[in-house]
Amino acid sequence: KSMQSSDAFNYFIHRTNEIALKHGKIPIVWSEVFDRLGTKLDNRTIVQKWLKTASIKDIVSKGYRALWSQSPGGWYLDHLNDPWQQIYEIEPCEDANEEECKLVLGGGGEMWGETVDTSDLEQTVWPKLGAIAERLWSPKEKTKTAEEAEPRYRQFRCLLNRRNVKAAPSMNTISRQSPHGPGACLDQ
Tell me the helix, strand and coil percentages in the chain, rounded to 5.
45, 10, 45
> If you average pLDDT over residues 71-96, what whole number do you get?
86
The pLDDT assigned to 188 comes to 63
> If you average pLDDT over residues 135-143, what whole number do you get?
89
The pLDDT assigned to 184 comes to 67
Pairing of strands 65-68, 104-107: parallel
> If you average pLDDT over residues 105-125, what whole number do you get?
89
| Residue-averaged pLDDT of the chain | 89
Amino acid at 83: P
> If you average pLDDT over residues 11-30, what whole number do you get?
96
CA distance 108 to 35: 20
Q: What are phi and psi of 105, to 5 degrees?
A: -75, -20
pTM (predicted TM-score): 0.84
Instruction: Give the model confidence (pLDDT) of 34-76 as tens digits.
Output: 999 999 999 999 999 987 777 889 999 999 999 988 766 788 8
Q: What is the DSSP string of 90-148?
A: --TTTT--HHHHTTEEEE--B--GGG--TTTHHHHHTTHHHHHHHHHHS-GGG-S-HHH
